[in-house]
Amino acid sequence: MFPISKEALFAVSLFPYLGFLWFVTRSGQLPRLALIGFYMTLVFVAVTIPVGIYAQVVYNESLANVDFLHGGAEFFLTLSNILVVLGFRQAILQRRQPSEPEA
């Protein structure tokens, strides 16, 4: 069996996620705020990679071991999760509202 590095696995996992984003964007079925949250996950990835490299070069540590950098990067993941939850919450609340009678 071939050993797979975590970096290679991370890079390969991006393609299914991009496919997911393409399909849900095209479908128009996802609440807009939730869709923005899913796209924010890409911002998290885009921020985490250079910050992780910085932690390795400057501190000779992995990102997980440099708290202030790790926390700053994780902020973007937290923000994306909040947007996804708020988007679906908004959609649920809109569905629960009784429809207005036609005049």
pTM of model > 0.85: no
Task: Assign 3-class secondary structure to 27-87.
Answer: HCCCCHHHHHHHHHHHHHHHHHHHHHHHHHHHHCCCHHHCHHHHHHHHHHHHHHHHHHHHH
**pLDDT digits 0-9 by tens, 4-32:** 787 788 788 889 999 999 999 999 999 99
More confidently predicted of 2 and 26: 26
- The predicted pLDDT at position 73 comes to 92
**pLDDT digits 0-9 by tens, 45-90:** 999 999 999 999 999 999 999 999 999 999 999 999 999 999 999 9
Domains of the chain, by residue range, sit at 30-93
